[in-house]
């Protein structure tokens, strides 16, 4: 199917009406990026969804697919799915099944004034050219109408009068299923709501309903994510043997590159710190765990990694879609920490690991080992005087991307900045930043999703605001030249994945010399013990 | 002698209070939820101004948790009285929303002043006689001014809001019959207040006498037609409000304190442990293949299994 101009729903009830596509974004209607990325004709396009995919899956929401649920083969199957949805909807509002979020969800359902104050704070909505289907209140309003019609006690006439009606047919439900995966759960909209309504939470709960009642979720999060992690040990597919081999190789490489003996500690009982990385680092950015090992050894910290199943991977995709999976993964992390009798767990450079283990798991298990952020640990080490650092080794433009889960959801804002101000002379902020940052566009698991043409959606729409911010942060440099290397410090694995894809997609590395990495790499790069720079631009 | 106005007033006030209480009790009885705070959290002493938290500290669980209640109060007052969030994120709507809300606050404030006026009446204080009489006279002067100001601001806000709900595309699309009724209802309250206070110089004094009669279940003076309309609309609205999203009047406290700013850590031996232990022992009935709760498994059962064995 090829659409020539933007389509967006004209009413809430349009979601229930059968049509080829409820929404379509025409690239020419997107807000332009700063030069030299302002000519849409010169940028990669948006691949159309294949006819086969449209034939096989429920794909009538927009231009792409995430959940990719097959179309019901029979009316009976369709009816079963609709029943399953409403059964799940009821369970979302019971304390037995959803004590985890019952209060915030109910409050958000019943008090929205529909003032749209949240809308302009949503990077997906604004950078889609304000397509109605991506407005934070659109999916929330559909959900709200279904709640008042099917769950909330009261007279149907009054509820319909107060809250509007909607047809809960399969067209509505299948579109809602996909629409639950067009929001990165960054919760910037919730920050601006004057009443306290949280549309990000409503999206989160919708995802839970589909997963926990109907067993429907993106395979990247479930089968290849939490299920694989619980079974094999990591969502990367690495088992304990593979991870140890991998880290041996990283240690060797670090030793060769730096001339400093690097040896990662495994399963040290009674260590002060159990460090848990996002295991994606070991495969995609091995210099990050390598730099951690180097820094911790140089600072004389008592630390260990765990080779126990699950405990060497801080990933917990359950945070994005399923409370049961969230609890299962977090339980393994906390069990291993207790087994090793460590004083604390330090969460590596991974935003969602921070939130899942740092605050969410806090009320799932009693008497847990305390958790601390790697940002805090790095600040402590940098200012302890245990490392000899030369900031001039980082004398290139550096900006900081704030992972939503670390800043907005946890209030860890300054440690990473104090480090950067200390070791990076040309550090500059993105605007806005800190707790008002914009999501990278890969939040809530999007960074690992590229099925069908979803990567194009991530690049053109959900990641567009971040790309704009990055370019503006380096606006004082020549963006037409790659001569001056510029560094985006993104202390989060998922954010790095998204930023990597953005820079590749827009050709920003070759056009403007924009690179990315974590925070610990910059610290190690500033260490005077290293005769050669740790950052290798050619390899980045 | 009790009149129909006595009965209607007590009924309207009772429905308002009962409706509000039901909302509050319902929320207060909800189970402890997972932490879902959003920063800045204004009670983070010394850190709220940049959005920081105690989680930035090394070994934060060993540091004494300091809660800045004053910081919370300031943010709440800015939000409630000035609608700061709307000002910052939706300026064009603020020009309608602020006068609407502030007009309502003024009229609510006027009710409080008139209750005081009623007590003066019942206490035998005579207007302008003695120092208390001077205070009483001043009070009624304030009532008159606040009533007119509230009516003007509120009516402007309600009409502007109605206009926006009707003609601004993104507001119209999300509006429904109840949205328009609410704006009309509020507009009618402000208009009738304006007629009462703007056209009758004796209205404050007469209203103080009415409040005295209502407080003491005693005789009521004659209510002018405008007063009858105003009182009738206000009472109907008071009974109606708890049934709508406008009940955020009662629940906003919880949405901020219990959710957005709720960051109490679950420390060993702390106050949350018992509640969490009870909650994770509840039975779940989620039906997906990786859970299969069936109303028999507890959350502990689910969390300590992998889910894979359930597929077998």
Compute the distance between CA of residue B141 and CA of residue B135 in angstroms, rounded to an integer.
10
User: Is B117 a residue whose pLDDT tops 80?
Assistant: yes
Q: How far apart are CA A221 and CA A215, in angstroms?
A: 12
pLDDT of residue A4: 67
Please state the φ and ψ torsions of residue A298, each to the nearest 5 degrees.
-65, -30
pLDDT tens by residue, B240-266: 999 999 999 999 999 999 999 999 999
- Whether residue A454 contacts residue A489, with contact meaning beta carbons closer than 8 Å, is answered with no
Residue B52 contacts A where some CB pair is shorter than 8 Å: yes
Using CB atoms within 10 A of its CB, is residue A339 exposed (0-12), middle (13-18) or buried (19+)? middle
- Verify whether the Cβ–Cβ distance A215 to B290 is below 8 Å: yes
Query: Do A539 and A407 form a contact (C-beta atoms < 8 A)?
Result: no
Higher pLDDT, A154 or A521: A521
Residues of chain B in contact with residue A190, where contact means CB-CB under 8 angstroms, are: 38, 260
Please report the pLDDT score of residue A463 as a whole number: 98
Whole-angstrom Cα distance, residue A166 to residue A15?
9
Residues A61/A65/A67/A72 CA torsion (nearest 10 deg):
60
Mean pLDDT (whole number) for B97-108? 98
Which chain B residue lies closest to A109 (C-alpha atoms)?
A: B245
Mean pLDDT of A97-124: 97
How many helical (H) and strand (E) elements, i.e. helices and strands, does chain B have?
13, 0
Q: How far is B266 from chain A (nearest CA, A)?
A: 6
CA distance B62 to chain A (A): 10
Beta bridge partners of A57: A70
Chain A neighbors of B175, CB-CB under 8 A? 114
Contact flag A111-B170 (C-beta cutoff 8 Å): no
Contact map slice: B 173-232 vs A, CB within 8 A: 173-179, 181
Residue B32: its chain A contacts at CB < 8 A?
Answer: 99, 363
Q: How far apart, in whole angstroms, are the C-alpha atoms of residue A389 and residue A382? A: 8
Contact A280, A236 (CB under 8 A): yes
The pLDDT of residue A1 is: 45
Interface residue B276 vs chain A (CB under 8 A): yes
Whether the CB of B35 is below 8 Å from some CB of chain A: the reply is yes
Handedness of CA A71, A72, A74, A75 (dihedral sign): negative
Kindly tell me if the per-residue pLDDT of A2 is higher than 90: no
Residues near A72 by beta carbon (within 8 Å), at least 6 away in sequence: A78, A81, A170
What's the order of all strands across the beta sheet hosting A371-373?
A303-304, A273-276, A344-347, A371-373
pLDDT of residue A505 exceeding 60: yes
**Residue written as token pair 């359930």:** B310
Residue A378 phi, psi dihedral angles, 5° rounding: -65, -40
For residue A446, give the DSSP letter.
G
Specify the range with the lowest mean pLDDT, choosing from A83-97, A113-127, B265-279.
B265-279
CB contact under 8 A, B255 and A101: no
A240 vs A309: CA distance, rounded Å: 6
Count contacts between A and B (CB, < 8 Å): 268
Q: How far apart are CA B307 and CA A522, in angstroms?
A: 40
B38 and chain A in contact, CB less than 8 A = yes
Contact A161 B176 (CB under 8 A): yes
- DSSP class of B67: B
Q: Which of A435, A434, A458 is nearest to A447 (CA)?
A: A458
Contact partners, residue B291, CB within 8 Å, separation at least 6: A212, A324, B284, B297, B302, B307, B310
Taking CA A420 as the corner, what is the angle to CA A416 and CA A424, rounded to the nearest 5 degrees? 165
Paired with A515 in beta bridges are: A487
B71 pLDDT band, cuts 50/70/90, is very high
Q: What is the pLDDT of residue B312?
A: 41
- Comparing alpha-carbon positions, the chain A residue that sits nearest to B161 is A115
Q: Tell me the pLDDT of chain A averaged across its residues.
A: 96
A3 has a pLDDT exceeding 90: no
Look at residue A276 and give its three-state secondary structure.
strand
Residue B72 in this model has a pLDDT that exceeds 60: yes
pLDDT (average), residues A367-390: 97
A103 contact residues in B (CB cutoff 8 A): 27, 30-31, 33, 254, 258-259
Strand order in the sheet with A427-428: A427-428, A398-400, A486-489, A514-517
Q: How far is A392 from chain B (nearest CA, A)?
A: 27
pLDDT digit string (tens) for A244-268? 999 999 999 999 999 999 999 999 9
Query: Which position has the token pair 């009068």?
Result: A161
Report the DSSP pairing between strands A344-347 and A371-373: parallel
Whether A351 shows a pLDDT value over 50: the answer reads yes
- B/e letters for B277-301, b = 16+ CB within 10 Å, e = fewer, are eebbeeebbbbbebbbbeeebbbbe
Q: What is the ipTM of this complex?
A: 0.95
pLDDT band at A214 (very low <50, low <70, confident <90, very high): very high
Structural domain spans, chain B: 90-237, 280-311
Is A116–B259 a contact, with Cβ atoms under 8 angstroms apart? no
Residues B160-199 pLDDT 10s: 999 999 999 999 999 999 999 999 999 999 999 999 999 9
Q: Please, which residues have CB within 8 angstroms of residue B274's CB and are 6 or more apart in sequence?
A: none
Return the SS3 of A21: coil
CB B179 within 8 A of CB B163: no
Q: Could you give the count of Cα atoms lying within 13 Å of A481 in the half-sphere of its Cβ?
A: 5
Cβ distance of A115 and B276 shorter than 8 Å: no
* B16 to chain A, closest Cα gap in Å: 17
Contacts of B25 in chain A (CB under 8 A): none
CA angle A203, A209, A210 (to 5 degrees): 95
CB contact under 8 A, B171 and A114: yes
Q: How confident is the model at residue B311 (pLDDT cuts 50, 70, 90)?
A: very low
Q: What is the average per-residue pLDDT within B283-306?
A: 96
Residue B14 CA to residue A328 CA, distance in Å, equals: 48
Task: Give the mutation candidate from B27, B36, B309 for the A interface (greatest A CB count, under 10 A).
Answer: B36
pLDDT at residue B216 greater than cutoff 90? yes
Contact A120 B90 (CB under 8 A): yes
* C-alpha–C-alpha distance, residues A502 and A49, integer Å: 20
Tokens describing residue B262: 């709720």
d(C-alpha A528, C-alpha A94), whole Å: 58
- How do the domains of chain A map onto residue ranges? 12-214, 227-539
* A422-458 pLDDT tens trace: 999 999 999 999 999 999 999 999 999 999 999 999 9
- Of the candidates A255, A336, A268, A348, the residue with the CA atom closest to the CA atom of residue A302: A268
Chain B hits for A414, CB-CB cut-off 8 Å, are 47, 50, 52, 56
Residue B283, strand partner residues: B298
Mean pLDDT of all residues in B74-102: 97
CB A418 within 8 A of CB B60: no
């Amino acid at each position: 199917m090829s659409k020539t101009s933007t389509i967006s729903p004209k009413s809430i009830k349009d979601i229930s009406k059968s049509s080829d596509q409820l929404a379509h974004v025409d690239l020419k209607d997107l807000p332009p990026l700063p030069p030299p990325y302002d000519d849409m004709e010169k940028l990669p396009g948006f691949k159309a969804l294949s006819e086969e995919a449209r034939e096989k899956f429920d794909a009538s929401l927009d231009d792409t697919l995430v959940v990719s649920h097959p179309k019901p083969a029979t009316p009976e199957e369709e009816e079963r799915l609709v029943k399953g949805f409403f059964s799940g909807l009821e369970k979302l509002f019971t304390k037995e099944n959803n004590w985890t979020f019952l209060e915030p969800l109910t409050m958000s359902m019943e008090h929205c004034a529909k003032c749209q104050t949240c809308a302009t704070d949503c990077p997906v909505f604004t950078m889609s050219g304000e397509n109605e289907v991506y407005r934070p209140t659109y999916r929330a309003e559909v959900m709200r109408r279904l709640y008042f019609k099917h769950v909330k006690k009261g007279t149907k006439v009054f509820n319909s009068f107060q809250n509007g009606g909607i047809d809960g047919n399969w067209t509505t439900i299948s579109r809602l299923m996909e629409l639950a995966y067009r929001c990165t759960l960054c919760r910037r909209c919730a920050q601006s709501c004057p009443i306290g309504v949280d549309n990000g939470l409503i999206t989160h709960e919708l995802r839970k309903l589909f997963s926990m009642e109907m067993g429907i979720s993106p395979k990247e999060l479930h089968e290849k994510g939490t299920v694989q992690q619980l079974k094999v040990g990591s969502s990367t597919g690495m088992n304990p043997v593979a991870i140890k081999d991998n880290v041996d190789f990283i240690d060797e490489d670090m030793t060769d590159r730096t001339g400093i003996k690097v040896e990662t500690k495994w399963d040290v009982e009674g260590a002060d710190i159990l460090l848990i990385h996002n295991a994606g680092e070991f495969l995609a950015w091995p210099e990050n765990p390598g730099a951690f090992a180097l820094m911790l050894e140089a600072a004389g910290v008592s630390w260990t990694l765990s080779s126990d199943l699950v405990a060497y991977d801080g990933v917990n995709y359950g945070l994005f879609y399923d409370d049961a999976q969230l609890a299962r993964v977090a339980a393994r992390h906390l069990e291993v920490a207790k087994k090793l009798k460590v004083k604390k767990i330090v969460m590596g450079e991974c935003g969602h690991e921070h939130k899942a283990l740092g605050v969410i798991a806090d009320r799932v298990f009693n008497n847990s080992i305390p958790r601390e952020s790697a940002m805090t640990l790095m600040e402590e080490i940098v200012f302890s005087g245990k490392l000899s650092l030369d900031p001039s080794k980082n004398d290139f433009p550096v900006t900081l991307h704030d992972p939503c889960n670390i800043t907005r959801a946890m209030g860890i804002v300054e440690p990473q900045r104090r480090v950067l101000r200390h070791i990076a002379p040309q550090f500059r902020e993105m605007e806005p930043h800190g707790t008002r940052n914009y999501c990278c566009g890969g939040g809530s698991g999007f960074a690992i999703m590229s099925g069908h043409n979803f990567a194009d959606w991530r690049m053109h729409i959900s990641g567009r605001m971040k790309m704009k911010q990055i370019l503006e942060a380096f606006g004082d440099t020549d963006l037409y030249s790659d001569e001056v290397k510029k560094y985006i410090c993104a202390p989060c694995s998922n954010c790095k994945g998204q930023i990597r894809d953005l820079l590749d997609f827009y050709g920003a590395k070759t056009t403007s010399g924009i690179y990315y990495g974590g925070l610990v790499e910059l610290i190690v790069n500033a260490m005077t013990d290293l005769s050669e720079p740790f950052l290798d631009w050619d390899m980045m | 002698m009790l009149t129909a106005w006595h009965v209607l007033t007590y009924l309207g006030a009772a429905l308002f209070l009962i409706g509000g209480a039901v909302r509050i009790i319902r929320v207060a009885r909800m189970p402890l939820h997972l932490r879902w705070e959003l920063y800045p959290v204004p009670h983070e002493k010394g850190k709220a101004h940049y959005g920081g938290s105690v989680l930035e500290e090394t070994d934060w669980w060993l540091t004494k948790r300091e809660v800045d209640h004053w910081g919370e109060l300031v943010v709440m007052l800015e939000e409630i009285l000035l609608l700061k969030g709307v000002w910052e994120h939706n300026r064009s709507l603020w020009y309608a929303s602020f006068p609407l809300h502030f007009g309502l606050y003024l009229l609510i404030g006027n009710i409080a002043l008139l209750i005081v006026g009623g007590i003066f009446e019942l206490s035998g204080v005579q207007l302008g006689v003695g120092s208390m009489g001077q205070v009483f006279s001043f009070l009624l002067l304030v009532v008159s001014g606040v009533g007119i100001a509230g009516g003007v601001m509120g009516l402007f806000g309600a009409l502007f809001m109605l206009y926006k709900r009707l003609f601004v595309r993104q507001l119209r699309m999300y509006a429904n019959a109840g949205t328009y009724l609410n704006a009309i209802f509020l507009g009618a309250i402000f208009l009738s207040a304006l007629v009462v206070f703007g056209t009758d110089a004796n209205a404050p004094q007469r209203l103080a006498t009415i409040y005295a009669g209502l407080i003491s279940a005693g005789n009521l003076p004659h209510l002018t037609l405008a007063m009858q309309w105003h009182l009738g609309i206000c009472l109907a609205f008071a009974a109606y409000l708890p049934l709508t999203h406008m009940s955020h009047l009662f629940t906003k406290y919880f949405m901020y304190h219990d959710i957005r700013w709720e960051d109490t850590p679950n420390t060993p031996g702390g106050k949350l442990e018992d509640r969490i232990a009870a909650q994770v022992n509840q039975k779940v009935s989620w039906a997906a293949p990786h859970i299969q709760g069936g109303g028999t498994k507890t959350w502990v059962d689910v969390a300590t299994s992998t889910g894979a064995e359930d597929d077998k």
